[in-house]
Structure 1
Amino acid sequence: MPPTPSDELARQVTGLFAAINRRYAQESEAAAGTHELTPLQAKALLAAEQPVPMRRIAEHLHAEPSNVTAIIDRLEARGLVERRPDPGDRRVKLVAATPAGRTVVTDLRTRMPFAGSPLAPLSEDQRESLRELLQLILEG
């Protein structure tokens, strides 16, 4: 039985999701690789450009905090981030990029124009519509 127009449209949309993901991953991997970082390490470093709690980095990476600890440990060993107490709550540790880390962040942003802002071609209304449509897909 030949595919229906709806099946063909679904295939095209799914293919576009895959192409976007592939482009994002390739660009991220190439940029991170220039600094001998994994894509997750680069994403964590980008998230720590300003001091941020480890919990927020975990949310940004969609990862468990225990996994993020190992990532931050590696970045810290390379001198790209530092841990410091949160002045508002001494129990919380903030992760912040060091001057060397901020230099790497600047270079990563330059090397990742698509991954850094994949929705740039869309207007605010289009972004909101896309978010709503993607939420419908996930909820369905």
Structure 2
Amino acid sequence: MRAREAWSLVLELLLAERRRVPAIAGALRLSAAQCHVLRHLEPGKPVPMRRVAEALACDASNVTGIVDRLEARGLLERRAAAHDRRVRVVVITRRGAAVRARLVARLAAPPPAIARLSPAEQRTLCAILRRALPPSRSG
């Protein structure tokens, strides 16, 4: 029964904060999907289009349109992979890295619901959430 209450509270918090990502995206003149792509790219680390699609949990054809729009803004480039020229990779540009840095900083700022917790409560919350996440995601 407590698990159901805990999950309900997590959902309530997420729903209360649901406008946060679109607001951050809008301030950067990006869509939420474009933010998701930029967040998963790191300067100097090419990522295959297939992996971008996996990160977004969508079809590769959907990623093509998102990447097209980011590329048109000069935020990333598509290239052939060095190991296999048939594989297309996405590489963040210098301009894209600057936008990504602003995005990551804004996303990292805790919402008021978390910020108002005491430091001890924040540590406890972090410990609980780390245990709740799958091992591959909690590190």
Normalising by the smaller structure, the TM-score range is 0.7 to 0.9
Q: Alpha-carbon deviations, 1:53-102, whole Å to 9, x = none?
A: 01111111111111000000010011111001110111101101111100
Structure 2 match to 1:56: 51
Structure exhibiting the larger radius of gyration computed from Cα positions: 1
CA RMSD of aligned residues (A): 2.7
After superposition, residues 3-42 of structure 1 pair within 5 angstroms as: 6=1, 10-11=4-5, 13-23=7-17, 25-42=18-35
Checking the alignment, whether the CA contact within 8 Å between 1:32 and 1:39 is kept in structure 2 is yes
Question: Equivalent of 2:86, from 83, 88, 91?
Answer: 91
Structure 2 match to 1:130: 132
Checking the alignment, whether the CA contact within 8 Å between 1:48 and 1:81 is kept in structure 2 is no
Q: Could you tell me how far apart the structure 2 residues matched to 1:63 and 1:107 are?
A: 25
Q: 1:58 to 1:21 in 2, by over 3 A?
A: farther
Structure 1 match to 2:72: 77
SS state of the match for residue 103, structure 1? helix
Identity %: 36
Structure 2 match to 1:104: 99
**TM-score calculated relative to the size of structure 1:** 0.73
Q: Could you tell me how far apart the structure 1 residues matched to 2:102 and 2:55 are?
A: 20
Q: 1:10 to 1:54 in 2, by over 3 A?
A: same
